[in-house]
Each structure stands twice: as structure tokens, then as C-alpha cells.
Structure 1
């Protein structure tokens, strides 16, 4: 179980590595170029939040720290969690090692154009944006708004992002 005084990044890495080894390895959804990595874990309102890169998905996880202000989690049910950037949908999950935790999928399956570095950068950036208050990010939103088409789908957004990451990744 997660302890508020202990960063659970290594626990999440170990658990997701076990899931990969026992259940996911060899499945077509997996990106063979990616390894399980915990990214940017930090204390958030007496709980732990961080991102996970796995061969099958990139997600943000929220783990219980303080029992007194932890929401009632129903495994397999969606719960709306308000972060500084707004409300996000998290799925209730459970494991023997981690106990109950929440996961917000950012990308599944992972774009085949991503390598480990770009997947980790994407996860870190998404986590940072989710933890940035809307008012703090408004100055960047206004300056880049004209460059983003109004009818841009979520898939197009992530495809555009992955192409930019790959371009940035080249020497």
C-alpha cells in the first residue's frame, strides 16, 4: 500500500512491469520500443500524482496518501477529479501492491512514432499541464490559439504532438 511519506514511483514501476511481464508482453497493442517508467511523481493535496509510460499506454495516476480526504473509489468506474487545469476523468483501479488508485489514460495504444524519450517527454508535459492552473496557462493559450485549428480532433492533436516530438528528437 502507498504511504504519504514515501514516493510511490518505484512501486508503480514494479507493478506495471509485472503487469507487462505477466499479461501484456507480446500483445499487438504493445509498443516494443518502450519500457515501463514512472515520470514526475509528486505530492498533490496529500496524495501522489505522476505519469506512467508503459508499452501499451501513457497515463497519469493518482495514489492515495492521506485516507481522510481520499475519494471513495469503485474499481472500474470513472471518477471526475478536479486538478488545477480542470476536471479529468480517472478510472478506479486496484492492485495488491498499490491498493486502490486512479488512472487517467492519455494515450492507448501509444503512437508507434514515439520512442522512449518522446513518450516520457509527452507524459511529463501532459502532467505539468494538468497541474498548471488555467489562469497560469492562459497567456500561452492566447498566443498559440491561432495556430491550432478550432475543429482539431483529439487524435489529430496527439498526432501533431508526436510528429513535433519526433522532429525535436532528431539531431
Structure 2
């Protein structure tokens, strides 16, 4: 087998370096996905019409906010000097998904990656897998997401969706799970399965 035949049939181009987002991106994310909802998604059969577009709990964070006794976590939207250089972390609810998001904010979580490329990013709970996306014409061109519910057909209301997204963020910044007590936050290639299972168990119990 030649080296050429072992290559993937398609590989997305490497995006340009992402510009750090200075202001809380929640309103821009809501506008971006509301446009998608009204123009191309609202008639599809798998959407949950009980849900609406909402960005939840966005705040800056990077690995320097973590310590062995637990994370130093700013409140959503916090802009104090201690946290103003971190990348943006939060959740987005739409009628077709509920996902965790990381957006570039000048911190040490973000790395520029091709669309579809997966990476492990370690939070206090442990490593979670995020998927990169890049659309140069979008309101926010570059982001990375971790799917929670896609589609969110089992979510009965916007209140329940908001509670699930908030529980996911709370779990994400909880202490490191016992399965990997030596893990440190940041980008990693470690296998995330035990911690990911514990992560979703915590959400299910909320």
C-alpha cells in the first residue's frame, strides 16, 4: 500500500490563527445559532421545538485557575483581572443539540485545529474530548465543542435544558475524579473514557 493510499480522502485545511474574543461571546453565539435555527433547521424532523437557542454560563478559564485543592472558578461573565486572559468556556442550547463550547480568549486551553479534528482538553474533572469547527463566514468562525445531547429529544423544556447545561458545567469544574488523581488541566492526548463516564453520570444525577 502506497503512502498516498493511506491518507484520508479529505482533510479540512488548517484554519488561520483564531483571534482572541475579548467580550463575553454569549450574545454572538445566540445570534449565530438563532439565524441557523430560523433559516435552515426549524423544519427538520429531529429538532425539539420545546427548546430555544440560549448560551449558558460562559466564563473565562485556563489551567492556572486550578490547584490541588480545587479550581478557582470565576462566576459566569466574570471579567476581573485574575481571569480576563482565559479562554471562554460555556454551553449552548439549541433545538438540535446541547453542547459544551470552548472559544479562544487568549488563554492556554485553545489550540487552532482543522474542522472535525478531535482533541482532549483536561479540566478539573479530567480530560474531555472536544471537536474543532471552523467556518470563516460565521459570526464566530472558530470554536470547539463537546456534545452533551444531540439531538436533545429527551429534554422536556428549556428549564430542563438549562439545568442540564448548568449541571454539565458544574461537573466539568468539579474536583478531579479518583480514576486519575494525577491528571492536570490543559491539552492532552490521554484516554478520557473513565472520566468521561463519570462526567456524564454526574449530569444524569442532577
Normalization by structure 1: what TM-score? Answer: 0.74
Cα deviation, residue 130, structure 1: 0.7
Of 102, 107, 117, the match for 2:159: 117
Q: What is aligned with 2:173?
A: 131
What is the count of residue pairs matched by the alignment? Answer: 143
Q: Indicate yes or no: 2:109 matched with 1:92.
A: no
Give the unaligned 5+ runs of structure 2.
Answer: 1-17, 63-85, 179-196
| Structure 1 residues 11 and 65: CA distance shift in structure 2, 3 A | same
Q: What is aligned with 2:122?
A: 82
Of 110, 125, 141, the match for 1:70: 110
| Structure 1 residues 69 and 114: CA distance shift in structure 2, 3 A | closer
Give the unaligned 5+ runs of structure 1.
Answer: 137-153, 166-171
| Structure 1 residues 68 and 123: CA distance shift in structure 2, 3 A | closer
Q: Do 1:81 and 1:88's aligned partners in 2 also have CA atoms closer than 8 Å?
A: yes
Normalization by structure 2: what TM-score? Answer: 0.62
Q: Which structure has the highest helix share of the two?
A: 1
Cα deviation, residue 3, structure 1: 4.5
Aligned ranges for residues 32-71 of structure 1 at < 5 Å? 32-45=49-62, 46-66=86-106, 70-71=110-111
In 2: Cα distance, 1:43 partner to 1:110 partner: 26
| Structure 1 residues 31 and 68: CA distance shift in structure 2, 3 A | closer
Q: Which has the larger radius of gyration?
A: 2
